Structure 1
Amino acid sequence: MATPPHLSPKLLVGVGALCLTLLATWVTLTTPGYPDQHALRSWPAVLGSRLRRELPRGDRLTAAWVSIGLWAGLVSVLHFGGVLYNVYTAVPWWDLLTHAMGGFGVAAVLAFTFREQTLRSPVWLVSGVVAIGAGFEVYEFVFKTFWYRWSLAFYVEDTVVDLLVNTSGAAAFAAVTELYRRTSGSAATSTPATGSDGVAAASAHDHEIVADGDGDGHDSDSNAD
């Protein structure tokens, strides 16, 4: 009887990705800038509250969120189009492109959801994206079948490259945010560059948020317990 794929030596990839997820999560939790006033389970609610409050404003914050949404849509089109038309096979660097853009976009969502904390120190974005990317590799190991036909060596190489490229995208966004933070001279009241067009919200907008009583990202419906 053939060994089930999940119990073959390829289990090394799944276990390794799980360990990396846990390690990167711990690093993120202890890195300056991490929004520790929000429980992890509340993050979707915080994001939803941000979108409900800021999308209708019609200002540069609205443009920033729209840009992030367009970026996410572009990444989705490139990915699913690549799968549908076998571009991943025909163009070797297509996988690198989509993963780098994905890491950049995820970092942008995290940064704008918790922008006040991120502008104090955007370093946490990098380890945060590593944790999310490694967690996705665990998901693929458990629920997907495309890797069944791969050799162990190729599976390891593909996973490592994916994670490195994801991380490079997040690091690029963190670097842009740090540059903006340094040049703006207003780390607590400004907004980082967006993932797609470098849009930055004016500090006056965040002063308005502070005046509304939620300048640190606190929302009455999404605070951590």
Structure 2
Amino acid sequence: MALLRLSARTQQRATRGMQVAIVGFLLVGVWTRNVAVVINAVLSLAVTFLPAVLERDWGLRLDTGLTLWLTTAVLLHTAGMLGLYGSIPWWDHLTHTLSATIVAGVGYATARAFDEHSDAVYFPPRFMFVYVLLFTLAFGVFWEVLEFGVHGLSDSLGVDAVLIQYSLEDTVVDLIFDTVGAVLVALFGTTTLRSAVETLTTRLAGQTSDEVR
């Protein structure tokens, strides 16, 4: 996938640069003793290595563009924990939209891989659109409930919240931008995710062959 028409080498370098930036955010969190920043930076850094783990342990190879896409999402979220969520009103909308495209992409690629792998499964285009939308919104609701629970637990313990939850109105707005991300993937992301679908389909075919043996 030529994300923004960048070469694979350039995308790899950009991904490495973003990983270094996340490490920098982690060090800032440690220096300022900001537990929320530290935890989010550690988790975000772990997510950036997920494609390599999937390739090593499961044989699922994601192209450099998808890895850069994922890394960009977690980088912007980690940067937001340093104060951008509070100082820039639209930062939360940006990160929710981008994160929603990741969730929608996972849902789409998985469903399409099963569709192409098995003759017993057929997902019409209209169904896929609704499925991607509902899959993303379901995860969005789960995330908002998680934010609410973590925020409440943090308040009861008297510690800084690891996840930020502002209000019910903010939750509704977050879900709206989750929907925007899902629609973007459903309408324009199918070509971009083609390599991921092919990789998953190949993996499913390999598992079926092993079971037959």
Q: TM-score, normalised by structure 1?
A: 0.50
Counterpart in 1 of 2:66?
A: 68
User: Is 2:179 the counterpart of 1:167?
Assistant: yes
Query: What's the CA shift for 1:193?
Result: 1.9
Tell me, which stretches of 5 or more residues in structure 1 are unaligned?
1-47, 56-61, 149-153, 181-191, 195-199
1:1-225 correspondence runs (5 A): 52-55=58-61, 62-63=62-63, 66-84=64-82, 86-116=83-113, 117=115, 120-121=124-125, 122-123=128-129, 124-145=131-152, 155-177=167-189, 192-194=191-193, 200-201=194-195, 209=202, 214=205
Tell me, which stretches of 5 or more residues in structure 2 are unaligned?
1-53, 117-122, 156-165
User: 2:80 and 2:150 mapped to 1: Cα distance?
Assistant: 20
User: 2:56 and 2:111 mapped to 1: Cα distance?
Assistant: 9
User: 1:105 and 1:77 mapped to 2: Cα distance?
Assistant: 13
User: 1:94 and 1:101 mapped to 2: Cα distance?
Assistant: 11
User: 1:161 and 1:134 mapped to 2: Cα distance?
Assistant: 12
Query: What's the CA shift for 1:115?
Result: 2.4
User: 1:176 and 1:71 mapped to 2: Cα distance?
Assistant: 15
Q: Which has the higher contact order (CA 8 A, sep 6+)?
A: 1
Secondary structure class of the residue paired with 2:205: coil
Question: CA RMSD, aligned part only?
Answer: 3.7
User: 1:166 and 1:91 mapped to 2: Cα distance?
Assistant: 18
Counterpart in 2 of 1:5?
A: none
Q: 1:74 to 1:49 in 2, by over 3 A?
A: closer
What do residues 174-223 of structure 1 show as CA deviations (whole Å, max 9, x unaligned)?
Answer: 1114xx5xxxxxxxxxxx423xxxxx3399x67x83xx8729x96868xx
Counterpart in 1 of 2:8?
A: none
User: 2:187 and 2:146 mapped to 1: Cα distance?
Assistant: 29
User: 1:94 and 1:171 mapped to 2: Cα distance?
Assistant: 19
Query: Which is worse superposed, 125-134 or 104-113?
Result: 104-113
What do residues 109-147 of structure 1 show as CA deviations (whole Å, max 9, x unaligned)?
Answer: 222233233974322011001000101111111122499
Query: What's the CA shift for 1:78?
Result: 0.8
Aligned-partner residue type, residue 214 of structure 1: A
Secondary structure class of the residue paired with 2:89: coil
Q: Is the 8 A contact 1:133 1:166 kept in 2?
A: yes
Determine which structure has the larger helix proportion and give its number: 2
Q: TM-score, normalised by structure 2?
A: 0.53
Q: Is the 8 A contact 2:133 2:183 kept in 1?
A: yes
Aligned-partner residue type, residue 74 of structure 1: T
Identity %: 28
